[in-house]
Structure 1
Amino acid sequence: MPAQELRVDAEPETGAARPLHHHPYTRPALFVVVLVAVAVIAAVVGIRRLEPDPVPAWPAQAGQTGSSTCTDPSRSQQWRVSWTVTPQIGVVPTAMAARTLPDGAWTDRGGDRWQLRWNQAPAEAAGTDFAWDHSLTAPMSGLSGVAVSAAMSPRYVTPDGACTVYAAAFGPGAVGKGSVAVVGDSLTAQLIVPAVGQDGGVADENVPPVTSSLYPTAAAVGSTPSAVPTTSVPELGPLAASLTALGMRPQVDGQGGRRWVTDPDATEPIDQANWTMLDELRGLREAGSVVVALGTNDASWASQARTDAQFEERLSWTLSNLQSMLDEMAVSGHCTVVMSMASQGKKGTGTQRGDRFELAAARINAVLRANADSQGRLAFYDWGAQGDQHAFGTADAWFGKDTIHLSPAGVPAYVTAMTEAARLGC
């Protein structure tokens, strides 16, 4: 006879003790009921979501309005740009303001000089240095007459050069979970447009370049509103296509010549912003995750010093300011993945000491790795170790004849690395 649980209770009339037996399946049944109840309650109160967040429409829709912000923690200042989308799917600013954190009132800053930036068009043939000058500086009265396609990532550098406000980013305005920002130099810029070759031109020679006459000029500002044309449905570059295929909402920003830190000789605020990507990183602070791929231009700048003493001075400047940037990124809400740089086989250092670039790169990479090991919101992806195995001159080179930029074989390799970095997490 199977064992039964026994406890003593009283008979209802006589008060005498009697045994009370429980069925052996009573407790398991009650446990299942409790689990079901908890699951129902969790779904109702939102403890766990049963469906993913909806992906916003992309590209932006005509008539859509919104506002975007950028926060500069070094000055406790926040900037805001309100914008609207024209019938031609171009983005134009409607108001520009700033306030002091935590709760200062917004003040109009539209009369100051801001800098509008945008990405290259898919059909554009760029130079070998990838230093596209897609910018226009003017107060809002001038910039409001220039409509830049939402597909070309219009953004506004603040008057002090400390922040970049992205309009309709992440397709459009969809920050947070599922959004990923990739920030880098000219190697990243190679992944923005489809089919870029090793020398910066489009792979298909039959595709005509976009001429400068299609872009707004200083003379055009304040006159008849113009637009930077592109297709209404953008053709994604290889990196954005890879990230989108994984269900992410990417914002890819690669600019030629950019470094981790600014040039110490830069005096004008916006000129300082044109050396570094700190203002972009502040503008993309609300992204779910961020990948940063910089350092090649920092190592090159240090290695081109005239003397060993100047080399050490430049490298010390770079490492000190790099540490400040990493400290700032480490306290942001998202996960930031920093990528090391390749250092082998690079030419054009301009010095008798050909190993200076490798020395600078090694020390910069070491700072990145050490901070990722010690800071909870930073992670490290070792692209440099991969790239160094495929330096220019090797059988399967990932770099072109300038030894810096990607070869046709290097483009998909870099896309794979950046995609892995975006999925790495902290």
Structure 2
Amino acid sequence: MKKRTLTSLLLTGALAVSLLAGCGSGGGAASDTQTATGTETADAGGDNLEKSKAIDWQSAKDNAGNPLFIDTFVPDTPEKPADPDSLPETDELHWFNFEYPYAEIQKLEQPASPADGCIGKKLILLKNGDHPYHTAYIEATKQAAEIFGMEVEVMSANWDVNIQTQQVDQAINEAPDLIIYNPVDQETSVTHLRKMYDAGIPVIGSNVMPSNEGFQYLLSFCGPADWDQSKLLAQYMAEKAGYKGNYCVITHNPGGSAYYARAYGVITELAKIAPDMVCLDIQSPGTDSAENVKQVVSDWITKYGDDLDVIFTSETTVQATGSIEACEAAGRSDILIGGIDNSETALNYIKEGKLTCATNQPPMQDGALPVLLAAKWFNGETIDDYVFMEPAVINADNVEDFLPAQW
């Protein structure tokens, strides 16, 4: 069902890469600039393209010594049902427009590649907010930009859509060669993307999907395969639960694409492969307070008692911590807990046997991928419209392979 695009199998040669400490500043708008200094600057003559294509990016490593550029795939899209909304929410095709928002979008004509090399180009990263995951993402964006001889400026909206709207205008005024866009809010993203498109600036969407309509303005989109990793999580947890029992779901923040994927990817997959597993409740206590999550899970334990068998979380720091603490306080070591992403917190919980599994969503590879696509485009190469990182499940048997954690 997937067409594979391998971006990091040629691990040959040696490349000395400086790992640059980078993070989005907390509180309000933030901006910082990384100028490529470790890569040879291009001459003003016509050899920039040749030098750009000769860059050895395949051997680049992240801060744990793993390939910086992850294996990816281009998704196949199933046939759209006549009326997705008429299908039950437990049917995966009900969510067709959420899982495949780009399926029926006719992309507008995109700017032509200058095909004159990536070295010397300027990027602006419009980041949605600050979080340890995004700190690692930004670090890798800067690292990748240095590898390709590009300059990158980072603007963080700190999860405030009004700030991001101002930063979109600021980015347009600076007229970069390309913008990498992580939307704060799907609904507003189409307005942002239309502005950037009308200004003639190519945009690569990353990490979080824009609205369906927004895809028409994108040069390309890349990021985590949220629906795929949610389904993998559901498959593994169902097996561990013996394909029976009842479960509850803690969602991601409402409004973003991760909210739907990380909740209904799980629910629809379980409806298909484990119809005897029943969803008892779905709650959205946020990703900022473990205490809020703990209260929700404690209430579930009180309400459902021994009928609660499995808990799914949409991230593995605050939500996993709150869930585990609630279960420990209630003496419920029998409840299986699985979550999405691979934080250090998650990997330690897996080693301790407190978390059944997590999924591999490496932030550094997430942050490096749009820079790779941008570099290829500047070099005149064809890039796919949609590219997703290959997901995997992390459990007690393979957790050591994913250490040390990136965040």
Please confirm whether the aligned pair reaches a TM-score higher than 0.5, indicating the same fold.
no
**Which structure is higher in helix share?**
2
Give the number of the structure with larger relative contact order, counting CA–CA contacts within 8 Å between residues 6 or more apart: 2
More strand by share: 1
